């Protein structure tokens, strides 16, 4: 009897101590820390929008600065709403066929963790969409561009995502490795951009009559560098948050990410030297971004030296890719096809080649190639069809006159820097003069 009372007391004591401990330790530590990490990572991915906006705007002429900023701002807004409404369900909903999800559209009442996940995934969808805007810059019909964004965030991106990242997706089932989206996000954006620029054609004056490429310098190189830093910063969330859980392994992931970014810039510089090209700021910044794109697939499953190698080759490829596109007389204003498309492809392959503990495994490499090929076929074909239809219905390209005047005035009725540059002639005029302009 005494013992029983004792035991009961002990149980109560244990219960008092344990229950708060267990509930705090499990709810707080595991789930809450996961939540906060993924949310903070998602916020960093959001900031990549600012990075892309600065990078792309810096690379265009001042007469198109407002247009690029508006495209980046609005594709985020449209992408957010549409991906919540349609894309998330297509990508992560129940996916019996392996080809697209069928539930979770317009998520409203859900467990807390689902809100966290969709917040993070919205940022990824917006990244895929915004990759396209730079490539198409300086000559695209604004409305046509926005309709394309709708197609990418609501359909093209999530469908491929459901193959590779949905647990029931056919590529995922095959063992396809693309940790944070070298293919799923970056190549998808890159191939959409490729389809668009083939249909658009190059900017006026970008190639001479003889087909020689002529450089069209961007209007603000400082913006390009700051944009690069912001993208790099955001990438720590992009790759670090893709664990979708807090873990001690995030240190390895972020170190790999950072080393690959640094190696990418160096790789691009080496290629510039080898091909006797000047080492431009744009090539250097793009090289680091290419390194980051390349490590995105394998950052969680590669030793540090291989991460450096992956990044360096990515940086080099970004330079070669730009040369290749110029040879093909394709005009990619910011190098997006090369940096995101080609280097995303390379990174996905590298994730298979340099898989820690299982390197150069032919079967894994075949799976990686299958994923890379599937991405190209699906995305390029569907994006080409989409932009072709947009082209027929709305017109994809602005008129030559509008292109020459700049899209800021013709598409938006605004000027990015009304007191500087070609508008500086108005500088000594009074307000009345300025108001006539607007």
Identify whether the C-beta of residue 218 lies closer than 8 Å to the C-beta of residue 60.
yes
Stretch that binds a copy of itself, among 50-58, 168-176, 192-200, 336-344 (CB under 8 A): 50-58
Q: Tell me the closest approach of the beta carbon of residue 169 to a copy of itself, in angstroms.
A: 24
Please choose, out of 90-98, 275-283, 317-325, 341-349, the segment that lies near a copy of itself by the rule CB under 8 A: 275-283
Site for a copy of itself in 338-357 (CB under 8 A): none
Query: Which is nearer to a copy of itself, 7 or 97 (by Cβ)?
Result: 7
Q: Does residue 223 contact residue 69 with C-beta atoms inside 8 Å?
A: no
The verdict on 378 binding a copy of itself (CB under 8 A) reads no
228: contact with a copy of itself by CB under 8 A: yes
What is the helix (H) or strand (E) element at residue 262, kind and residue range? helix 250-274
Tokens standing for residue 396? 């994809």
H helices present in 136-249, as ranges: 142-151, 157-164, 170-174, 188-200, 221-240
DSSP 69-138: HHHHHHHHHHHHHHIIIIIHHHHHS--TTSS---S-TT--S--HHHHHHHHHHHHHHHHHHHHHHHHTTT
Number of residues that bind a copy of itself (CB under 8 A): 139
Binding segment for a copy of itself (CB under 8 A), chosen from 117-125, 177-185, 338-346, 360-368, is 117-125
Distance in angstroms between the alpha carbons of the first and the last residue of the chain = 92
8-state DSSP, 140: B
Residue choice 55, 59, 65, 333 for contact with a copy of itself (CB under 8 A): 65
The three-class DSSP label of residue 213 is strand
**108 is a contact residue toward a copy of itself (CB under 8 A):** yes
Site string for a copy of itself, 122-141 (x = CB under 8 A): x-------------------
Contact with a copy of itself (CB under 8 A): which of 86, 150, 244, 254? 254
**CB environment 362-388: b (16+ within 10 A), e (fewer):** eebeebbeebbebbbebbbebbbebbe
Range in contact with a copy of itself (rule: CB under 8 A) among 29-37, 320-328, 357-365, 381-389? 29-37
Strand, coil or helix: 361: coil
Interacting positions 398-427 with a copy of itself (CB under 8 A): 412-422, 424, 427
**φ, ψ of residue 207 in degrees (nearest 5):** -125, 140
2: three-class secondary structure by DSSP: helix
Which stretch, 63-71, 156-164, 168-176, 340-348, contacts a copy of itself (CB under 8 A)? 63-71
The answer to the question of residue 323 lying near a copy of itself (CB under 8 A) is no
CB-nearer residue toward a copy of itself: 175 or 217: 217
Interacting stretch for a copy of itself, rule CB under 8 A, among 90-98, 128-136, 298-306, 358-366?
298-306
Binds a copy of itself by CB under 8 A, chosen from 118, 185, 295, 313: 118
Q: Could you give the CA distance from residue 143 to residue 129 in angstroms, rounded to a whole number?
A: 15
| Residue 382 binds to a copy of itself (criterion: CB under 8 A) | no
Stretch that binds a copy of itself, among 92-100, 155-163, 273-281, 347-355 (CB under 8 A): 273-281
Return the residue matching tokens 């693309």. Answer: 178
Rounded distance between C-alpha atoms, residue 238 and residue 196, angstroms: 25
The minimum distance between CB 245 and a copy of itself, in angstroms, equals 9
Q: Compute the least distance from the CB of residue 112 to a copy of itself, in Å.
A: 4
Q: Rounded to 5 degrees, what angle do the CA atoms 221, 191, 67 make?
A: 40
- Verify binding: residue 165, a copy of itself, rule CB under 8 A: no
- Binding to a copy of itself by residue 46, rule CB under 8 A? yes
Q: By C-beta, is 43 or 369 nearer to a copy of itself?
A: 43
């Amino acid at each position: 009897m005494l013992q029983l009372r004792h035991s009961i007391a002990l149980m109560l004591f244990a219960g008092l101590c344990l229950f708060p401990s267990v509930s705090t330790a499990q709810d707080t530590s595991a789930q809450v820390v996961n939540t906060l990490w993924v949310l903070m990572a998602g916020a960093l991915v959001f900031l990549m929008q600012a990075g892309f906006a600065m990078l792309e705007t810096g690379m265009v002429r001042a007469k198109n600065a407002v247009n690029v900023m508006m495209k980046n701002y609005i594709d985020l807004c449209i992408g957010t709403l549409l991906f919540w409404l349609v894309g998330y369900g297509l990508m992560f909903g129940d996916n019996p066929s392996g080809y697209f999800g069928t539930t979770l559209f317009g998520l409203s009442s859900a467990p807390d963790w689902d809100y966290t996940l969709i917040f993070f995934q919205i940022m990824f969808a917006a990244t895929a969409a915004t990759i396209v805007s730079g490539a198409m810059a300086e000559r695209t019909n604004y409305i046509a561009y926005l309709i394309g964004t709708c197609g990418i965030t609501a359909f093209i991106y999530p469908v491929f995502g459901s193959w590779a990242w949905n647990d029931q997706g056919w590529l995922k089932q095959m063992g396809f490795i693309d940790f944070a989206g070298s293919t799923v996000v970056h190549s998808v954006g890159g191939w959409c951009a490729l389809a668009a620029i083939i249909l658009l054609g190059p900017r006026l004056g970008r190639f001479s009559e003889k087909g020689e490429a002529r450089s069209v310098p961007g209007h603000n190189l400082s913006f390009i560098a700051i944009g690069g830093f912001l993208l790099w910063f955001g990438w720590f969330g992009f790759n670090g948050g893709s664990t979708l859980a807090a873990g001690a392994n995030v240190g390895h992931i972020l170190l790999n990410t950072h080393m690959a970014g640094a190696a990418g810039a160096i790789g691009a510089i080496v290629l510039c030297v080898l091909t006797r090209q000047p080492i431009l700021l744009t090539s250097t910044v793009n090289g680091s971004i290419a390194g980051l794109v390349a490590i995105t697939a394998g950052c969680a499953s590669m030793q540090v030296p291989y991460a450096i190698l992956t990044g360096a080759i990515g940086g080099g490829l970004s330079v070669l890719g730009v040369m290749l596109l110029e040879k093909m007389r394709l005009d990619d204003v910011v190098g997006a096809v090369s940096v995101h498309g080609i280097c995303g492809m390379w990174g996905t392959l590298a994730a298979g080649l340099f898989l820690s503990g299982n390197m150069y495994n032919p079967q894994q490499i075949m799976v990686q190639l299958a994923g890379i090929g599937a991405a190209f076929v699906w995305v390029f074909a569907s994006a080409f069809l989409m932009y072709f239809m947009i082209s027929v219905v709305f017109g994809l390209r602005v008129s030559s006159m509008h292109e020459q005047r700049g899209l800021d005035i013709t598409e938006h009725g605004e000027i990015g820097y009304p007191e500087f540059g070609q508008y500086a002639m108005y500088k000594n005029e009074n307000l009345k003069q300025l108001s006539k302009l607007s």
